[in-house]
Every structure is written in structure tokens, then in C-alpha cells.
Amino acid sequence: MSDSAGGPVSNPVSGPASAPASGPVSGPEGGPAEPGWRRLSPRMLLVHPVQEVVRAAPALLGLLVAGTSSGGKGHLWSAAGVGLTVLFGMLRWFTTTYRISPEQVQVRRGLLNRKVLTVPRDRVRTVDVTSHVLHRVLGLARVEVGTGTSDRRHDSRLKLDALSAAEAARLRVELLHRSPAAQSPAAQSPTAQSPGASPVPPYAGSTPMGGATGETELARMRPGWVRFGPFTMSGLVTVGVVGGFASRLVSEGNIDLDRVGPVRETWRWFSAMSLALEIATVLLALVVFVGVASTLGYVLAYGNFRLTRHAEGTLHVTRGLLTRRATTIEERRLRGVEIDEPLLLRAVRGARLSAVTTGLRSKERGQRGGSTLLPPAPRAEAVAVAGLVLSHAPGATGGPSPATAPLAGPLTGPLTGPLTGPLTPHGPAALRRRFTRAYGVHGPVLLALLALWAWAGLPSWPWLTAAALLPVTALLAADRYRSLGHALTSGYLVTRWGALVRRRVALRCDGVIGWTVERSFFQRRAGLATLTATTAAGAQSYQVRDVDLAEALRLAAVGTPGLLDPFLERAGSVNQ
């Protein structure tokens, strides 16, 4: 399939790359003497050393302490370490060059082991532009070219750290907007009108920005959304990072915490409490710290968030209060959207929206936020923005199959049917399976704890706790069943599942490249099956779980007409 992109090709070399040079690339950056190859911005000589010193800070601190304790010359050892680190950071600029030809993008780096990373331009799926605080002070931006591969052995992103901000913006447009230069933005826009045609009204909820750029704003960060920050629980990661850094700092610096007065007094005060009070204190402190850290992380990550659509047929996401990041998603690669509702966020009627698009894998989505279309926000807002995105997407007028209820004519408003329409429930067999699977784990654990308490002297509180959690297990099982549902509407396959994180995915039927019907031993006894829609976008597969077998076959047959006919005919002849 054309959507499954290959990653960068890494070739160790001892000299110039064998690919022909395309001539110097125009722009403000200076280039090396070799034709076609160009260096990063010289201002990175001020950034790379600082980055390396920050990364090596714990080791440099340990070197300082070790040198002081051994001979009183710790400052000399530390100064030598800083000097070597700065030199290493400067070498990154001298040994990194890049060039762009009409066919490919190449990056050459390394001093002793020279490598050339090559990405064919027709494999470029995303171009992210990121500016950290120091980058923004110096007018720089880091460019990451993504190919959408999921190869764990190699990084599928080609990085240029960094170019001037203007050059990075120009490079992003050049790599993604490969339409003919003579074509005007008005001609490229799906809303361009032919002479005599009646004007198409603007999409409800979007804000045309006007100007030559043809930019339309779909969403913008609102101050009231900050209230969803504590319910994202992203502060748990901060707890781990801070704890790990503090532990390493204490270990590298040989710090004796018993000699630190505030720490000693706090520990003495904490040790004087009862066990129940200690647990309550730790939980309260953890909740407060996680809540504050989650809110702060939300503001830093999503401050100044904007989602806009450009006339070239792209969605542009910018976000970040201190570190600014810009991500561009081509609408022609968009295959659907996904609305996620984690349990705590769902309790306050919040949700987050992401794109199901080729070139952005689910692993990449979780680590980088590359497919984020809306941060945690009111669910109604997420549904409205998703409708706007689907309305703009190519093929939004529906598919050719009447069974998928295509839309007649061009859309003049948000396509919210796949996101708000009713879903088909999965029946009593799926409900029984939810409870069977839940208590199939909880029951044996409870019995094992009872046995250990009766015959091995285990304290009683473990099995009492497990018994008290039986109603919670029932509630989770019931919620998992309520989350199940599916539908075929407006040319989209809609599936919903999950309890701790409820997900609703609207996937374009013409983006499905295959179907898989799976039936475990217990599913066969219950007459159920799991239907998996395979696609080149997003997570690459989306499931309709625990649905009747006949309904699973119907979904596959209607979603992609004619694809299963040979198999169904063969199965019918075998049964006869």
C-alpha cells in the first residue's frame, strides 16, 4: 500500500554520499564548500554546548564531589569535564550537514563513523517544527521529518537541530505542499467556486482568518480548559522524573540526608504518626502534588494552542507556552478521528481528540502528541471540532454504498453523525462475557488470599480488601459493556470500547485495507467474534469487540462491498 511508508535509509560512508547533488538550496543559512550540502544555523554553536552540559549535569556534579574528596581539586576536574562536554557539543555542528533534492532529503553526520540518512520525499508524512526556550531566544527551530514507520531498530524521524525559524517554516511548506507552484491557493481550496456557482457557506464553528494564506481557525485554547489539567494525571510522570533525578543527585553527590536538617525533621515528624495517618498523609501529598504538576504540565504543553486549516489542504496544530511546537497533517492522509475519554476526564465531561492519519503511528501519538487535534477540553467541544475536521476531509461526501448512508452533495456544516449518532449495542452475550472476564480474575485472587490467610498466616486485610472491591469490579464490568457499540454511517465505521479509557473511533471505510474475524474458544461458545479493521493509519487496526458473528460479517461486507464475496460464496458451497 502507498500509505505504508519506508523509513530513512542509513548508510555508513567514508566520503561524500553517492547521491547527486541538487545544487545549493536557497535560504538564509550558510553552507559548506561542498556543492549541495549545507550546515545547520551557526547560532547552534550557542545551543548544542548548553544542551550537552545540562544532560551531563549529574555526572559533572559527581565528578566535582569525587575530585574534592580525593585531593581538593574538584573544581579542576569539573572544569575539565565541562570543557570536554562543550567541545563535544560544538563538534555536532561541524559534523552535521544536510541537503534537499527534488527526490530526497539527506542528513550527513558523524566524525569517525560517517552516516548519511536518506528519506525519499514521496515518503515524507509529517514535518514538525519545535522551538525550545533557548531556540526561541536565538530565533531557531528544530525540524523533524517523519515517515510514519514503526521500525523499533531505527528512528523513523530525520532531525535537523536546528535551522532559523524562517528557514524551518519554509522547509515545512516545501516538503509537505508539493502541489504545482502555479496553482493558486484559491484553486487548491476545496471550497473554491466555479463561475456562476452559488457560494458555499462557511462551516459552523470555524473562523475564516482571511488574507493570502487562506487560513481558517477551527479551535483555540480557552482559559476555562485549564480545569481539565488535574484530571489528566500527567503529573504522575513528573513524580517519577523528580524522584529519579533526586535519587541520582543524592547518589552521585554522596549526600547524607540525615545531615540535612529539614529532611531529618520532616522524617522525624512523619515517623511519629500512626500507620493509617501515614498512609493518608502520603496519599494527600501525592494527590496535591500530582494535581498541581498535571495542571502546570497542561498549561506548558497546550498553552497558545491553535488548530487551523490551510488552503493547501493541511491541518496545522501549534501549541506550547515555553516550548513551541508546530505539526502539520495533510488532509489527504486523514482516515478518521478518535475521541478519548479517560475515566477521571470523563467524570468531568472532558475528552481529547486525535487524528487517525497515515504517517502518525499510535506509539508516536502517545509519546509526542503528533496527532493531537484538541487537548483535554469539554467533550462537546471535541465533538464539534471533530465534525469540522471530518467535514473538510477528502471524501467527506460519503462512499458509494447506500448502506453506509453517504451524504448527498458537498458538506456545508460539521459532520458529527459518526460522533454523536446512536450505536448498536452488543447484546446480552457480550454483557455476560464482561462479567465473566472480570470475576474470572478477581474471584481466584480472592480465594487465594483467603487460603493464605487460613493456612499460611497471612494478615486478614488483603482478603478483606479484595472482598470489598467486588462491587467495584462489577461496576467496571458494567461500564465496559456500556462502552461497547458500533455503527456504519456516512461512509465511516464507528467503534467504541474501553472503561478506564473510553475510545470512540470514526474510521473511513475507504481507508480499510482488510478485515480480520477472530474467535476465541469462549467467544465461539457464546456466538461472538471480534472484527478487526486493518488500515495504514493511526494504530493500524481497530476492533469491534464481542459482536455477533453474523453482524461482524455484515459490517465487513457493507464497509467494503465485494471484498468478502468470494470467501462467503466459498463458505456457502462448503456448507452445502
Q: Which three cell numbers stand for residue 182?
A: 502555479
Three-state DSSP class for residue 37: coil
Average pLDDT on 464-477 reads 94
Three-state DSSP class for residue 357: strand
- Note the pLDDT tens digit of each residue in 149-200: 555 445 557 888 888 888 988 888 888 765 443 333 333 333 333 333 333 3
Q: Which three cell numbers stand for residue 568?
A: 462467503
Q: Is the pLDDT of residue 293 over 80?
A: yes
| Phi, psi of 95, deg, nearest 5 | -105, 10
Q: Return the minimum-mean-pLDDT range out of 156-170, 318-332, 361-375, 442-456.
A: 361-375
CA distance 435 to 542: 23
DSSP3 helix / strand / coil % (the chain, rounded to 5): 45, 25, 30
Best mean pLDDT range from 261-270, 388-397, 558-567: 261-270
What's the pLDDT at 37?
86
In whole numbers, what is the pLDDT of the chain averaged over residues?
Answer: 78
What's the pLDDT at 149?
59
CA distance 489 to 555: 11
What's the pLDDT at 221?
94
476: nearest Cα among 499, 504, 449, 451: 499
Q: Name the CA dihedral angle for 212, 217, 222, 227, rounded to a multiple of 10 degrees.
A: -140
Sheet bearing 215-220, strands edge to edge: 157-164, 140-146, 126-131, 324-330, 314-319, 306-310, 215-220, 207-210
More confident residue, 333 or 377: 377
- Exposed, middle or buried by CB within 10 Å (0-12, 13-18, 19+), for 417? middle
The fraction of the chain above a pLDDT of 70, given in percent, is: 73
DSSP 118-181: EEEGGG--EEEEEE-HHHHHHTEEEEEEE-----SSS--EEEEEEEEHHHHHHHHHHHH--S-T
Model confidence at 338, pLDDT cuts 50, 70, 90, reads very high
CA–chain centroid gap for 14, Å, is 37
CA distance 414 to 395: 14
Buried b (16+ CB within 10 A) or exposed e, 315-344: bbbebbbebbbbbbbbbebbbbbbbbbbee
- Note the pLDDT tens digit of each residue in 439-456: 999 999 999 999 999 998
Please state, in angstroms and as integers, the Cα–Cα distance from residue 451 to each residue in 91, 133, 394, 458, following that order: 64, 58, 61, 9
What's the pLDDT at 182?
34
CA distance 478 to 166: 54
What's the pLDDT at 446?
94
- Note the pLDDT tens digit of each residue in 248-273: 767 766 667 777 778 778 888 888 88
Buried b (16+ CB within 10 A) or exposed e, 284-295: eeeeeebbebbb
- Note the pLDDT tens digit of each residue in 121-149: 888 877 888 888 888 888 899 998 877 65
Please state, in angstroms and as integers, the Cα–Cα distance from residue 518 to each residue in 315, 515, 547, following that order: 36, 10, 11
Query: CA gyration radius for the chain?
Result: 28
- Note the pLDDT tens digit of each residue in 529-539: 999 999 988 88
Q: Which three cell numbers stand for residue 255?
A: 549526600
